Amino acid sequence: MNRNLLLISLFSLLTTMCTKVESNDWENGRWIDLTYDYSEETLYWPTSSTFEMDTVFVGITDGGFYYESFSFSSAEHGGTHLDAPIHFYPERSTVEELEIDQLTGRAVVIDGSDKVSQNRDYQFEVDDLLNWEAEHGPIPDESILLFYTGMGQYWPDAEAYLGTELKGEEGVANLSFPGIHPDTATWIVENRNIKAVGLDTPSLDYGQSVLFETHQILFEQNIPGFENVANMKQLPPFGAYIIALPMKIKNGSGAPLRIVAHISD
């Protein structure tokens, strides 16, 4: 084979490999719902208002047909939800300013559930990312970085999931759950190019954080967060395609989030 034909063959092979990585078999794959229902059981921050649903009308109307309608209220930050960067950093993106492209993409899932089972206040370290890369290769550019703790198994038991059933400031003082260490957040923004981060706990920072430094570090770079992500155990280490669409609240610092993953089998 001459040199030109060899180059053409190599280019064709690389193109095929890239196509396989980037394409998604939407028809034959499967969907995983990563969202908890909103109801009276939905968990919120101890100082937050919770989900309420009121009946407007249920029954047969004067016109003889069945009709039902409800009104609801909810804090921005509760249940499966989005943290917009402005939540912890001024002059950064609000909910409606986030582009859809930033909320969709391939997921990298860092599994720290074994460490969390030994320490529920565990904070993901840089080594957790480096160990993932040693096995799977560098975290691809524009990935959505998800941290799996295993805490979702306790939803919606407040004491088991949040660490406390207490409300108000007393509840905040007794929060206990894992998160992302600020040093890890710093390493991410300095060394990798990601779209968003998420985890299966109530906060990007661990429960006893008082400064929420991980939020600040990520949000300064306009990297949004997904919190209380459900069913993360079903995701592979890499390859799931994430679609995370929040309620489009103008000037919102956060919003209820419908997040799903598609896996090509």
Q: How far apart are CA 148 and CA 163, in angstroms?
A: 17
What would the two tokens of residue 211 be? 């400064």
**Percent of the chain beyond pLDDT 70?**
91
For 2, 43, 114, 162, 164, the CA distances from 157, given in Å and listed in that order, are 67, 8, 21, 8, 9
Q: How far apart are CA 32 and CA 53, in angstroms?
A: 26
Q: How far apart are CA 117 and CA 160, in angstroms?
A: 12
List pLDDT tens digits, range 70-103: 999 999 999 999 999 999 999 999 999 999 999 9
The H or E element that residue 37 is part of is none
Backbone angles phi, psi at 111, to 5 degrees: -95, 110
Pick from 15-19, 233-237, 254-258: least confident: 15-19
Beta strands in 158-224 (DSSP E): 179-180, 194-199
The full set of domain ranges for the chain reads 26-37+76-263
Mean pLDDT of 23-34: 88
Quick check: 5 pLDDT over 70?
no
- Mean per-residue pLDDT of the chain: 93
Mean pLDDT of 178-183: 98
Q: Chain-centre distance of CA 127, in angstroms?
A: 21
Class of domain 26-37+76-263: alpha beta
